[in-house]
């Protein structure tokens, strides 16, 4: 009797898997190690030191860019998650309607279209508004990030809704509960883990974004990633490694929290 096909038993599988992990994670490990380098070289170890973390902490430009990044990511996450919840309810908690597949595709459009295309489109759109209104504040970046983050918030919320039992909502409706009351007292308490997971994922995506920010931002609106990009163009010091390590730690914490929150519980 022929054995079932198992990819792990194929010749060379272990070597290819190890090579992939090394290529993925060895550069990150080196980045973290050299963030503690005492010297200014990013390739020559000169001793252990927290010098560059202290330098980044005291850098006023980094402080301003970090605050700006957090403000933008928070605003974009709130807007994207609110829109994602409404879209998820419309595509999962209603009777089938014509055009639902098109709406689903439109909501997930940023995932299918290259980010540079979205960035150029937002640049043109917001440039027209800037010319007409003269306003050049942070709201352009917040809205641009929100538009890009909607599908990232939408997928966990939609997955959560699809996994929820409809019997409680139907029972609430049978007891003359209005749609608003049913949503508030039955759907929302069950949905909040998906909403929180989607919000955290949108926050991380916004916090790390470079392409859309570079195209949409005005003068003096550098976020932490674009500040780092600008510094790399001039000179590279372990301070960039320290900032990258801090961002990596924040991203790992949020993604880990996202995993545990979005995981289906018995």
Q: How far apart are CA 116 and CA 141, in angstroms?
A: 15
Q: Is residue 47 part of a domain?
A: no
Measured CA to CA in angstroms, residue 158 lies from 57, 81, 88, 192 at distances of 39, 11, 5, 12
Give the SS3 label for residue 125: helix
Q: How far apart are CA 119 and CA 211, in angstroms?
A: 7
pTM of the model: 0.83
What's the rounded mean pLDDT across residues 8-25?
84
Q: pLDDT digits over 155-214, tens only? A: 888 888 887 777 777 787 767 777 778 778 777 788 888 888 889 889 989 988 999 999
The pLDDT value given to residue 123:
92
Q: Is residue 182 part of a domain?
A: yes
Q: What is the CATH number of the domain that holds 205?
A: 1.10.3720.10
Q: Is residue 6 part of a domain?
A: no
The pLDDT value given to residue 76:
95
Residue span of the structural domain in which 143 resides: 60-262
Q: pLDDT digits over 174-186, tens only? A: 677 777 787 787 7
Question: How many structural domains does the chain have?
Answer: 1
Share of the chain above pLDDT 90, in %: 26
Q: pLDDT digits over 67-115, tens only? A: 999 999 999 999 999 999 988 888 887 777 777 778 778 888 888 888 8
Q: Is residue 46 part of a domain?
A: no
The pLDDT value given to residue 262:
60
The pLDDT value given to residue 266:
44
Q: Is residue 14 part of a domain?
A: no
The pLDDT value given to residue 119:
92
Q: Is residue 254 part of a domain?
A: yes
Q: How far apart are CA 191 and CA 156, in angstroms?
A: 10
Q: Is residue 241 part of a domain?
A: yes
Main-chain dihedrals φ then ψ at residue 4, nearest 5 degrees? -65, 150
Q: How far apart are CA 35 and CA 179, in angstroms?
A: 53
The pLDDT value given to residue 94:
72
Name 48's bridge partners.
Answer: 37
**47 neighbors 238 (Cβ within 8 angstroms):** no
Q: How far apart are CA 32 and CA 2, in angstroms?
A: 47
Has residue 237 got a pLDDT over 70? yes
| CA 197 to chain CA mean position, Å | 11
Q: pLDDT grade, residue 142 (50/70/90)?
A: very high
**203 neighbors 74 (Cβ within 8 angstroms):** yes
Q: Is residue 45 part of a domain?
A: no
Main-chain dihedrals φ then ψ at residue 166, nearest 5 degrees? -80, -10
**150 neighbors 110 (Cβ within 8 angstroms):** yes
**172 neighbors 129 (Cβ within 8 angstroms):** no
* pLDDT averaged over every residue in the chain: 84
The pLDDT value given to residue 124:
93
């Amino acid at each position: 009797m022929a054995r079932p096909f198992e990819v792990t038993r194929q010749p060379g599988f272990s070597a290819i898997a190890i090579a992939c992990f090394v290529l993925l994670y060895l550069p990150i490990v080196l980045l973290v190690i050299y963030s503690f380098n005492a010297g200014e070289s990013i390739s020559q170890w000169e001793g252990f030191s927290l010098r560059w973390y202290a330098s980044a902490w005291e850098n006023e430009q980094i402080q301003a860019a970090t605050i700006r990044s957090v403000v933008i990511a928070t605003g974009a996450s709130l807007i994207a998650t609110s829109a994602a919840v409404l879209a998820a309810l419309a595509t999962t908690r209603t009777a089938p309607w014509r055009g639902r597949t098109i709406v689903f595709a439109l909501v997930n459009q940023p995932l299918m279209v290259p980010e540079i295309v979205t960035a150029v489109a937002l640049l043109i759109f917001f440039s027209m508004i800037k010319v007409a209104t003269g306003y050049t504040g942070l709201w352009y970046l917040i809205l641009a990030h929100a538009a890009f983050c909607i599908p990232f918030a939408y997928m966990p919320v939609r997955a959560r809704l699809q996994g929820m039992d409809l019997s409680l909502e139907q029972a609430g409706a049978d007891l003359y509960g209005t749609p608003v009351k049913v949503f508030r007292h039955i759907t929302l308490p069950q949905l909040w883990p998906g909403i929180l997971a989607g919000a955290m994922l949108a926050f991380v995506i916004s916090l790390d974004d470079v392409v859309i920010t570079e195209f949409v931002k005005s003068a003096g609106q550098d976020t932490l990633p674009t500040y780092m990009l600008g510094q790399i163009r001039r000179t590279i010091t372990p301070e960039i490694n320290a900032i990258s390590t801090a961002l990596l730690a924040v991203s790992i914490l949020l993604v880990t929290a996202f995993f545990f929150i979005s995981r289906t519980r018995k």
